[in-house]
Structure 1
């Protein structure tokens, strides 16, 4: 019989061994915290960060981690001191992930807690506990996930079902003294951590950490690190090193790694087999195709495309690029480089529409072909989940491994951009009824991406040159090159077009659907005034819109008529309709994003303006003529 002291000693030895191997079974004693309480009336939302670690096998690249947190690769690379966002990460490499922290009411039991919510679509084998501890690395707890999703039965979650995961965070108290930290970084206490080592790592004092978190920190507890500025993370000199092999003293990890290796090899061989079949098929088709050239165009084509045999470098690039967009292969048509070349007459300037977009004909059908360096993954990822009549449709794409280019093949929209109709030299001017229809079409397109996609999509570059008009003069939103899936985030990489950029995005990098609302307000001003969003002197169109809200109704109308597009004044229209649209534009351009309307309200308001036209022509474009007041 084993005596009690020997049993206790054996148990302590076993626990010590497990802790030294860093494979403690946390499921036996899960964290009991359910979040950090807050008062919504005294809480100011803030942009902050969590410290996350790259982990094999699923999260060793910024793209997969960005998908998990609904941010772009650059939004992680910049604060994490990573120069190349496409690099392969090292196992346990530290990263700063930007999040927006806010106070959210849960229920009467838990009250309000502060967190940043991220939707996660369940895969086969996922559980609330597993996703919380593994994928989100204990930045939340399964108790909080259950509290935030009260109608979800944890044992009955369907594959593909989206569940919100609350990532714990805190914001500094702005009413405190001047010594209050600017940031509170979310950090999970690791088995080999102590307060002194964490303080040294972040260059703060241990007292500043314990003052906020207390003295009873345990393994996997959430710590909030007070910082004045985000520190530079020390990153490996080469981020292409594979994760370290398991130690011989960890048989459990070895067994898991062996299983992972077998599964990985099986998947890799399967993918290689499919790619081999594709390559052999293309090779056979090329061998059995035309063998004789035809003049200078064919010689230029040969020079551009290179040898039909290609090189090992080109093939490696092609395999990598195909892997990058593997999730899109079954949704879109994959065009060959030869088809793109012939469709655009070798990228002849006569086929150029604008920028790097060419008009091309493939199999008798006209398309708009957008040429870009290889950064199309984000755009493809967003476009594959949107389908709306007021959004330009993506038909397919093509990869050019020789130049590492990608070509996106869109539907061709016949009447060009709204910018060319308002500000170009078009002989025909748009009627007010047509402008109203265009505004409503754009609003409906934005309503779809803001409210009917999960996570929500922010376009980030709404402007008249990205609004295209079809043969019926109906509008379609184009160019999702800057779009972001997921909102309420922060970025230090400001992109967009001057005159349309929302103030909060320009100054603080805040990304939300309300920045699209602001840009849409500028488009409305252009439709009413016929003026550019920014003039030759660099003055933005929306700078003096407050003038239209002052004085009597008669003064407002008179001021508006002086400012309106002259072509509108020459037609007879209902002035009340123009006043309504101007009111919508002014509300969209509020400097406080929380006071801007949502797209649902905007669509409703614009529909009311259209309803003022009670007599519509057969073409649906000419209003009943009423003298402007």
Structure 2
């Protein structure tokens, strides 16, 4: 039990550590034409297969512009045509060079220049993180492509993606027997010990290259090796075969004094072990006795919404493992229901695919009531911390949570919103939203954002406002969902860019600036969706907010209104919506998507401006049955 407790507590602690820091993203500096370095050089990256798109050597070879054989040979794959399993490690060869860049802070960075051809629906962030597996970043791609128009990527055009790498210097080559510095993406569960063990090298040699500060999850580090390990062998086998890089086991003939010392050490060790065993047994007997006492007594323990007792009601906590994992959040989540994992499995049919609402969110029925159940690994600390302190009618409500002690998975249980997302209504459903409903939805979302920006301390920034994260209830009232990317605090700088292309504010995408104004920008894009009924990125890769600005530029008001009426959703034209109301919302939307965050309004200003619409002065609380009408 104790090793398991320690393991899960370590996982939670590691995640908390990662959630406080950010990885290097602009690249790794180098010196051009230096006599001490050896650029360019041939080296390798460790890439993890990603079926189905990158589940074979041919597709991965095309991604890195190399042949299948150049991957199969160093990766010890006998048949290059075989399919790969998810996350299967591979050694992919690259040519690493020291390149000058047009940047004020970096004179030159070390990378392999990989050419990628833009396809439909591509965006730089997804290519960097998903396809290249964080071996490069969005920020570094912008550094290498300074003239790239990120909002209008042309299908078929070539973009250079800098794959992070380093070449060994002369000292490393001569004195330390280092032939390659393998680029390795640090995983959330990694430690320096585990990485060193995997590659069969010493931890100190990894420190010498990267420093002894623990890397952030998904940050690239460089592992010095004399030769590549056999990826088909277990780690301990590699440790014994890696050309002097590992701590090889030497045959030592012990003297009598050594033997005596070993006996003394063994005796002490046995004594300590016996003492620990007695303590553990005592704890176990105490736990068993406590549980027995609970079973024999017919009583109830109430925690928030849950009442538990002998007559089939559940215990509040399932074992000591959950106690340890909940240590960081128990003081703030005691008012929420703690579900058992088995209960959630029954509710969702064993997390059956038929129960999926979207992504890793499932619909489940518990005691006749429906819930939305989000399944995730133990990385829910920030989301739980934020959800427990917000309470507003336009935010999806947290109902409870659960932790699986077997694998550390976390489940967050929300209220179930039964009328799908705004994205579905705008882009997928045959029924169309009337203008009054669209305006009401915009005000609901604005109120929700105003609440988290103005009435939480510290301020909460959602960071992922988009139409698919806006859910509509039975009365077609909007609720903001998915706080998975949300963060407390504002005006921070991050290097790990996350979000959805088309909604991301320019200052966040380019400089990593996190502030409430990035939510204002995303909300402006949602307003443009409500007005136009168009996707945020069309089939040609054009971004909606850029097109909206083009329509609204110029001083000729008549021309602007004419272009607006041609651009809005045809259904709104048929509905004979108020032109004044449309102009008012368009004006607000364009102000929200201003490239300069200081010129964007606050959500307080946005709510006030939306409520000035003359449409709202009419029967805004009309019967909800008229909120939608079949498309004509």
The alignment's TM-score, normalised by the length of structure 2, stands at: 0.51
- Please give the root-mean-square deviation of Cα atoms over the aligned residues, in Å: 3.9
Match of 2:424 in 1: 420
| CA distance in 2 between partners of 1:274 and 1:394 (Å) | 34
| 1:435 alignment partner, one of 434, 438, 448 | 438
Q: Which residue of 2 aligns with 1:450?
A: 453
- In structure 2, runs of 5+ residues without a counterpart are 1-8, 26-103, 108-207, 217-278, 299-317, 628-632
1:371 to 371, 375, 379: 375
The answer to whether the 8 Å contact 2:441/2:478 transfers is yes
**1: CA distance between counterparts of 2:286 and 2:603?**
48
Give distance in 1, aligned partners of 2:519 and 2:404. 33
Gaps of 5+ in 1: 1-59, 81-177, 182-230, 240-268, 289-313, 624-629
> Is contact 1:433-1:621 (8 Å) kept?
no
Structure-2 residue corresponding to 1:492: 495
Contact 1:460 1:496 in 2 (8 A): yes
Find 1:385's aligned residue among 384, 389, 392: 389
Cα distance in 2 for partners of 1:512, 1:438 equals 23
Higher relative contact order (CA 8 A, sep 6+): 2
Correspondence list, 1:543-582, <5 A: 543-544=546-547, 545-582=549-586
> 1:380-418: CA deviations, max 9, x gaps?
000010000000000000101112111100000010110
Q: How does 1:92-491 map to 2 (within 5 A)?
A: 234-235=211-212, 281=291, 318-424=322-428, 426-491=429-494
Where does 1:519-538 land on structure 2 (aligned, <5 Å)? 519-538=522-541
Give the deviation of 1:76 after TM superposition. 2.2
> Which residue number corresponds to residue 21 of structure 2?
76
Cα distance, 1:370–1:282 mapped onto 2, change above 3 Å: farther
Give the deviation of 1:439 after TM superposition: 0.3
Cα contact 1:443–1:603 (8 A) shared by 2? yes
Q: Is the 8 A contact 1:351 1:358 kept in 2?
A: yes
Structure 1 residues 364-385: Cα deviation after superposition (integer angstroms, max 9, x where no partner) = 2110001011100110000010
Q: Tell whether the 8 Å contact from 2:374 to 2:413 is kept in structure 1 after alignment.
A: yes
1:141-174 alpha-carbon deviations (Å, 9 max, x no partner): xxxxxxxxxxxxxxxxxxxxxxxxxxxxxxxxxx
Q: Distance in 2 between matches of 1:275 and 1:565?
A: 69
Q: Deviations over 1:327-380 (max 9, x none)?
A: 244121100011101100111122111111111111121100010111001100
**Alpha-carbon offset, residue 78 of structure 1:** 2.8
Q: Secondary structure at the match of 2:431?
A: coil
Shift of the 369–611 alpha-carbon distance from structure 1 to 2, 3 Å rule, reads: same
For residues 292 and 213 of structure 2, what CA distance do their matches in structure 1 show? 40
In structure 2, the CA distance between the partners of 1:558 and 1:78, relative to structure 1 (3 Å rule), is same
- For 2:62, the equivalent position in structure 1 comes to none
1:539 matched to 2:484? The reply is: no
Inter-partner Cα distance in structure 1 for 2:615 and 2:385? 37
Give the Å deviation of 1:285.
6.4
Greater mean deviation of Cα atoms: 468-477 or 565-574: 565-574
Quick one: distance in 2 between partners of 1:366 and 1:450?
A: 30
SS at match of 1:604: helix
SS at match of 1:235: coil
Alignment of structure 1 residues 610-625 onto 2, 5 Å = 611=615, 613-616=617-620, 618-619=622-623
Cα shift at 1:571? 0.5
Aligned to 1:207: none
Aligned to 1:11: none
Change (3 A) 1:353 1:179: closer
C-alpha distance in structure 2 between counterparts of 1:513 and 1:459, whole Å: 8
* Structure 2 equivalent of residue 116 of structure 1: none
Is 1:506 the counterpart of 2:506? The answer is: no
Instruction: Between 605-614 and 476-485, report the one with greater CA deviation.
Output: 605-614
Question: Within 5 A, what are the aligned runs for 1:10-29?
Answer: none
Structure 1 residues 360 and 63, CA gap change in structure 2 (3 angstroms): closer
Match of 1:324, SS?
coil
Distance 1:361 1:525, change over 3 A: same
